[in-house]
Amino acid sequence: MKAIIQRVTTASVSVGEEQVSSIGRGLCVLLGISVEDTQKDVDYIVRKILNLRLFDDENGRAWSKSVTDREFEVLCVSQFTLQCILKANKPDFHAAMPAELAQPFYNSLLENMRCAYKPELIKEGQFGAYMQVSIQNDGPVTIELTSPKGTSDPKQMAKHEKQQQRKEKSRSKAPSESGREKGTPRPRRDPHASSGADGDVSSDRET
């Protein structure tokens, strides 16, 4: 599952001439569900959306508060085109879950989010409709999020989450040298060694 999370001052969704949903300050989330997604992907995305620290605190300290900390709103919009795979210049959407299967996942995500937060602050677009989405991006701040693959085992997913949390904490506490001991020489790179970037490339490259 993919999500594009945008910090906004306002956002709204219209179908035709009718506005079906709108929020003030908070997050507008575009969601793309893949054919491989399970309920665990839903749980992961919901947890991240509600806990990402994208807002200032009361003292103006950046990146310290989540949407739930500030009690802001969330607008979720289904967008299967996030699962696009380009074939030359033509988009292919076979990786997206078919609408009749994706809608229960989308509804489950909304339900989980409302259970974990204040339900009146969770808004949505109209699934499967041709929508116009208006977004006033605040910053701009845009985060691309993809649920991890190969973590269907709950223990492995929990381990992955803990590792991510430790990395975030170490980054926030790390000095300007990013944890590298001063004076430690960097290994010299062999100018004749290949980095792999110059290796074989796809034969399907367009000319």
What is the per-residue pLDDT for 149? 76
Q: Between 92 and 180, name the one with better pLDDT.
A: 92
Distance between first and last Cα of the chain: 32
Query: Where are the alpha helices (H) located in the chain, listed in sequence order?
Result: 39-51, 67-70, 99-116, 154-173
pLDDT band at 11 (very low <50, low <70, confident <90, very high): very high
Cα separations in angstroms, 188 against 39, 185, 195, 198: 47, 9, 13, 19
Active site residue 93: no
Share of the chain above pLDDT 90, in %: 67
The answer to whether 184 is a known catalytic residue is no
- Give me the catalytic one of 19, 38, 39, 81: 81
Tokens 């507008």 map to which residue? 28
The verdict on whether 81 is a catalytic residue reads yes
Main-chain dihedrals φ then ψ at residue 182, nearest 5 degrees: -65, 140
Cα dihedral sign, 168-171-173-179: positive
CA distance 13 to 124: 8
